[in-house]
Structure 1
Amino acid sequence: MKQLILAATLLSLIGCDTTPNHADTVVLGGPIYTVNDSQPFVEALAAQDGRVLEVGSLTQIEALIGPNTAIIDLNGRAMYPGFVEGHGHLAGLGKALVTVDLSSAESYQEVIARVAAAASQQPPGSWVMGWGWHQSKWSNDGSDYVGGFPTHGALTAAVPNHPVDLRHASGHATLVNQMAMDLAGIDHQTDYGIGGEVVKDSNGEPTGVLNENATYLVDAFTASSTAVQASEDIIRASEHALANGITSFHDAGTLSHELEAMMALGDSGQLAIRVYSMLSSSQPELVESWLLREPAVGLYDNHLSVRSIKIHADGALGSRGAWLLRAYTDAPEVFGMPTYPMDGVEALALAGLERGFQVNVHAIGDRTNQETLNRFERALRQFPEIDHRFRIEHAQHLHPDDIKRFAELGVIPSMQAIHMSSDRPWAIDRLGIERIESGAYMWSDLIDSGAIIVNGTDVPIEPINPIANFYAAVTRQTLAGQPEGGYEAGQRMTRDEALKSMTFWPAVGAFEEGFKGQLSKGYLFDAVILSNDIMTVDSDEILNVQIEQTIVAGQTRYLKEG
């Protein structure tokens, strides 16, 4: 961290030449990818006052070097536009960085051991928070399961004196122990109703698993609801994002105290990355208050925009909450569930069109995607000329007939390539081979039909690793390199498409394509330098590529040590 601050300070102290024909920074010595189709690759770049002054040949750019110009010599490394996290949870990332990491646990017993170890370091009665467990990735250790989930008995026995809240890797379920249920008043009489489930055993007793919106029953006890805490989370998350080459972040479901924190950080000059905020529909009063005013665009020198609403309309495949047209293959009585009324989706779509707000709907199952497209189509008939850029977040499993409708309606699929890499090995159990092949993770078919894809990681559901995300997009393999040739390889993105999905296409998805997502003249000088060229290196070497330097508005915000 000290080296990061020192590098940024040194670059700022260099100053810029007062001669208007001289750049304050010049980049040369390696491939520079502009992501501009008319000039996709250049030898050198000049920047001034945080924007790209010129790109072109080495000879052209050398003419812009003055006595005070800072030179960045790539020494054979590669530069790209700063990566955009197209769908993540900024404050959630900050929280996850300080909770018990369960993502690599290979059994329920390993989860319990990690939680017990964390509890031993905390005073009795304090909450123990964990994140990232996934029962489909565990070995069979003999643990009791109900409804496909573990039960709290062994967890309660190991950690009886601390309330425990362990979030599923999908973010759509949580496992709590008995003390947590006692505090939240959850017992055999507790039911959530539409949009959520308190999972119970054959005797009607709660198992400790709260599915979908039923997680709200414990959120009141565990969720941070102050702007001060959110500020700490956002600062922590931003530093982590910058270290991963992320210069812009689409925050999918901003809560009121998180937005307050972002604005406070913006006022004090501490909002380190550029945030595109999607207001969470889980707080109707927040959405309603913004619909009464104009969208806020480009605040704090293009570090915060508020012009989007996020609706959470179904669950996840992992928790069998994604709403399907046909039942789950491995649970023939289960179809998933909507978590937001479809009439409400249409009403917010109309309100967004009237007031200039983009509407983005979380939809994973094919029924949720179809219903959302239907509601969007009805709303758009009343406002056919508006540049709406409505989005469906995830668009993970589609009915084949709905694939072409995205481009036809101008709806942008916001997808996470890394989800395919992580989920595909077990997703076939949920959907079966026919639905997997015809409708799951359909990147190439969507692009070929005329749609663009906004790519992200859904952090903290997945690590915020753009290199891994790029690898998943172009290989359709797990991070272990399986299977050979990739899953449903015909749906791979080309490397050019994958790079656009992490840079320019997210800028389009946020109405920012005029100044972000490219290294072109006049664009923001937000860039990332990698140790090797992901556009040309062998596929099996992509995951070895490292983030070397991250630049925001011409200032180095991350520099790899050594």
Structure 2
Amino acid sequence: MRSLSIITAALLISASALAQQVGWNNIHGYGFDSQGQLVQFQQLLVDTETGKVLARGNAIQSDYPDANWQDGQGKTIIPGLIDGHGHILGLGQNLMRVELRGSQSEQEAVERVAEFAAKHPEQQWIQGRGWNQVLWDNNEFPSTALLDEVVSDRPVWLSRIDGHAGWANSKALELAGITKDSLDPPGGRILRDEQGNPTGVLLNNARQYISAILPEPNEAETIQALEAAFTELLSLGITSVHDAGIDSELARLYQRLRAENAIPLRIYAMLSARNPDLQSWLDQGIIDDEHDLLLIRAVKLYGDGALGSRGAALLSDYSDQPEHRGLLVTEPDRLTAQMQATIEAGFQANVHAIGDRANRMVLDRFEQLASPEQLQQGRHRMEHAQIVSPDDIPRFKALHVVPSMQAVHATSDKNMAGDRLGMARLRGAYAWRTFVDQGSPIVGGSDFPVELANPFHGLHASVTRQDQQNQPVGGWLPEQRLSLTEALRSFTRDAAYGAFQEERLGSLAPGMWADFIVLEQNPFAIEAEQLWQLEVLQTWLAGQQVFSR
């Protein structure tokens, strides 16, 4: 793993070593024009001093004879990819904890915990993430029993893959004071057995019982996690991330790292509405950066929970749990006040909403709280927009609300979404095609570490509506597929639009930042089923190489 300091040093060294103008010919180049149309080119020229694209085309080399021209050897160059919804610190921490993603049973998950605990006797808490009971044979939530068999002397806390549920052993429940008599908090639920005893699974706001007692990482551990995440993201061709919900401490650390020239990719940070000092950030105003390496002008707000843990707020009962309609994790009046404060401060309001009830509730508030000018200029976003009533989809366009959607959620959820919703409600579920056809730009992303950060998984899911085993045949809800051009635009130009950066990022056009990646294979020349297998050879940021395989 390359450390943050090494990456930063590489930036400085390459800046002095390269000629001011560097060009590539014999490439398969792709970008976008000002209208969002795909542009192909065979030559690309960048100014390494300014970090901007000078020119692109098929016969520009003769116009720049003094540039350092290199043979691209038929490789493919596309704009640096933008993940429009991720969690950078969470990704880094995840890389240093128990990985439960892909476990096929509760027993397998427990075995992974046991192995990790044995290797890390120094850790006071055993933490991990990624379990998903929907993939297990019994399709049931886990309990403390098996966890207690392998780790009983230390607390264990394991987040579900969506981050909206957690699984604890008895030691963790004891330290948190969770007993048979504990009350469910507003917007949360403690799962219980037939005798009313906690099973060890906490949903949504109930997770706060554990999070309140988790040891806080020190600054060195936080920076170590950030370094791991930065390195991972650059290796995947991700040059910009919309960091979805950061606390004040991380915001201040980002500011300090930026001042030290120690952030090697672009961060568009959303302040968490859960920050107790949110108003002081709003009063301070937008934090801008002429180099676009750190921009703070958005707030992440929270509507409901997630579908997999039945926390998404629905208009009607869950099909597989009558008389249950999910959870609103922020009390409606409080959400109204937070949205109003955000909009009035001139910040972008990006609201987590998965269920159709949550999406309607948030759309109603945008309509009530913001003037037409505030809506158009604010580019306010719905984060996830997974289950939307077909009647509400046109309201996104009318209210200028941008859907920020993660294609991999559809292929991850396809095995349980029908059970949770029934077929009728799937008409407005994961409806990318419907949004694009009405003219709503989609901010693409992954929601890492809920899903893997690899953006090619998202491109593959967008185009095929299939998992990586290419199932189901023909795709799940295939009428909602996107073309490859549309999918790529969601991870580049349209994601930049969702951060007010489409004039500077995402198109690889002259005058824009020279953020691009080099691929061995041409995504437009391979079978769509192979898109998820693409690998990045090089990643360039502002005309400087920051990753090489």
Residue of structure 2 in register with 1:21 after alignment = none
Write the deviation string for residues 149-172 of structure 1: whole angstroms up to 9, x where unpaired.
121112112211121001100100
Residue of structure 1 in register with 2:55 after alignment = 55
Percent identity over the alignment is: 36
* Equivalent AA in structure 1 for residue 289 of structure 2: G
More deviation in 419-428 or 50-59?
Answer: 50-59
Write the deviation string for residues 82-130 of structure 1: whole angstroms up to 9, x where unpaired.
0001000010001000111010110000011111111122337721111
Write the deviation string for residues 291-311 of structure 1: whole angstroms up to 9, x where unpaired.
112211226x21101100001
Aligned counterparts of 2:370 and 2:401: Cα–Cα separation in 1: 11
Q: CA deviation at 1:383?
A: 5.1
* Equivalent AA in structure 1 for residue 388 of structure 2: L
Q: CA deviation at 1:241?
A: 0.3
Task: Determine if contact 2:375/2:401 at 8 Å carries over to the other structure.
Answer: no
Q: Which residue among 314, 317, 321 is the counterpart of 1:327?
A: 317
Q: Within 5 A, what are the aligned runs for 1:124-139? A: 126-139=124-137
Q: Which residue among 241, 245, 248 is the counterpart of 1:253?
A: 245
SS of 1:248's equivalent in the other structure is: strand
Q: Within 5 A, what are the aligned runs for 1:18-417? A: 24-36=21-33, 37=36, 40-48=39-47, 49-66=49-66, 69-123=67-121, 126-140=124-138, 148-222=140-214, 224=216, 226-285=218-277, 287-298=278-289, 301-381=291-371, 387-417=377-407
More deviation in 244-253 or 418-427?
Answer: 418-427
Q: CA deviation at 1:385?
A: 7.0
* Equivalent AA in structure 2 for residue 458 of structure 1: D
**Closer, same or farther in 2 for the Cα pair 1:25/1:160, shift >3 Å?**
same
Task: Determine if contact 1:235/1:271 at 8 Å carries over to the other structure.
Answer: no
Q: Which residue among 467, 474, 486 is the counterpart of 2:456?
A: 467
SS of 1:247's equivalent in the other structure is: strand
Runs of 4+ in 1 over 6 A off after TM superposition: none
Q: CA deviation at 1:254?
A: 0.7
**Count of matched residue positions in the alignment of Structure 1 and Structure 2:** 543
Write the deviation string for residues 291-333 of structure 1: whole angstroms up to 9, x where unpaired.
112211226x211011000011110011000000011111112
SS of 1:262's equivalent in the other structure is: helix
Q: CA deviation at 1:39?
A: 6.6
More deviation in 340-349 or 315-324?
Answer: 340-349
Aligned counterparts of 1:203 and 1:2: Cα–Cα separation in 2: 52
Aligned counterparts of 1:249 and 1:188: Cα–Cα separation in 2: 42
TM-score (norm 1): 0.93
Q: CA deviation at 1:498?
A: 0.3
Is 1:550 equivalent to 2:539 in the alignment? yes
Aligned counterparts of 2:81 and 2:270: Cα–Cα separation in 1: 19
SS of 1:203's equivalent in the other structure is: coil
Write the deviation string for residues 237-285 of structure 1: whole angstroms up to 9, x where unpaired.
1111000000000000011111122112111111111100100011132
Flag structure 2 segments of 5+ consecutive residues without an equivalent.
none
TM-score (norm 2): 0.95
Aligned counterparts of 1:106 and 1:53: Cα–Cα separation in 2: 47
C-alpha RMSD of matched pairs (Å): 2.0
Aligned counterparts of 2:353 and 2:438: Cα–Cα separation in 1: 20
SS of 2:60's equivalent in the other structure is: helix
Write the deviation string for residues 24-59 of structure 1: whole angstroms up to 9, x where unpaired.
211221111112246711111111124334333343
Residue of structure 1 in register with 2:491 after alignment = 502
Task: Determine if contact 1:226/1:257 at 8 Å carries over to the other structure.
Answer: no
Residue of structure 2 in register with 1:457 after alignment = 446
SS of 2:309's equivalent in the other structure is: coil
Aligned counterparts of 2:112 and 2:205: Cα–Cα separation in 1: 26
Task: Determine if contact 1:231/1:258 at 8 Å carries over to the other structure.
Answer: no
* Equivalent AA in structure 1 for residue 479 of structure 2: G
Aligned counterparts of 2:70 and 2:251: Cα–Cα separation in 1: 35
Residue of structure 2 in register with 1:16 after alignment = 19
Aligned counterparts of 1:458 and 1:426: Cα–Cα separation in 2: 19
